Chains A and B, each alone.
Chain A
Amino acid sequence: MDFKYEIEGGNFSKAGTASSEVKKILKQLNVDPKLIKRIVVALYEAEVNVVAHAYEGNVTVKIASDKIQIIISDMGPGIPDVDQAMTAGFSTASKEVREMGFGAGMGLPNIKKNTDEMRIKTQVGKGTELELINYL
């Protein structure tokens, strides 16, 4: 089963709508609630990153019998130094993003913590693609 969602850069009122939809679907499929929480927290962090940093993005969720794969790709500034971005506490978030309660430099490390596999492909000036896999 595949599901697709769009993310609007800069629009915090809609941030989390894709994660919310995915949570409902996984609940209907009777996925273990602890696993659902890991998946949707990772996806929500990624969604907030797109809203905070990129112009637009989309989410593709593929549900297979053994795993759930999520790809979040955006058109945005890209990440110049992925190792630095993976360091807890490092952040380039704006004042506005921090006022929303984010931008503490915890997003990518927390996504990694909540997924079994995480891959980042990024190109400065073009955008970023994040692949998240959780095994069932």
Chain B
Amino acid sequence: MVKVKDIVENLNARVICGEERLNENIAVAFASDLMSDVLTLDTDNMLLVTGLSNLQVIRTSEMSDVSFILFVRGKRVNSDMLKLAIDNNMLIVECEYSMFRTCGELYKLGVKPVY
């Protein structure tokens, strides 16, 4: 288990919403720009790492019970995404690193893969 706060610090990331959840722990992460693949998972307490930024990322997370989303490659969350994320009590983080570097850092911290 890794504290979300430690992930944010190690990735020099910005918290966009859900600051109150920074002390929660994450066991596993899944990195994908394909929401179809995210929807096939039945994993709880998961961090979604993605370089895709649109409303359906938040919708997919809502349906999949994903509460933690990390946007990589400098992708930004727009106002519609932010509203939906806040409505669903999600923690959203933006990071400038590439997907590969982000996943490497997460792995070093002890975050496990889904499979």
Contacts and interface: CB of A to CB of B under 8 A. Distances in A.
A60 B50 CA distance: 33
Given A12-B56, A37-B42, A100-B56, A106 B62 contact: no
Contacts of B62: 16, 20, 23
B89 interface: no
A37 B56 contact: no
A101 B36 contact: yes
Contacts, number: 64
B34 to A, nearest CB: 6
Nearest to A36: B65
Nearest to A91: B36
A107 B56 CA distance: 14
Contacts of B35: 100-102
Nearest to A113: B40
B54 A41 contact: no
Contacts of A48: 56
Given A12-B55, A15-B56, A101 B34 contact: yes
B80 interface: yes
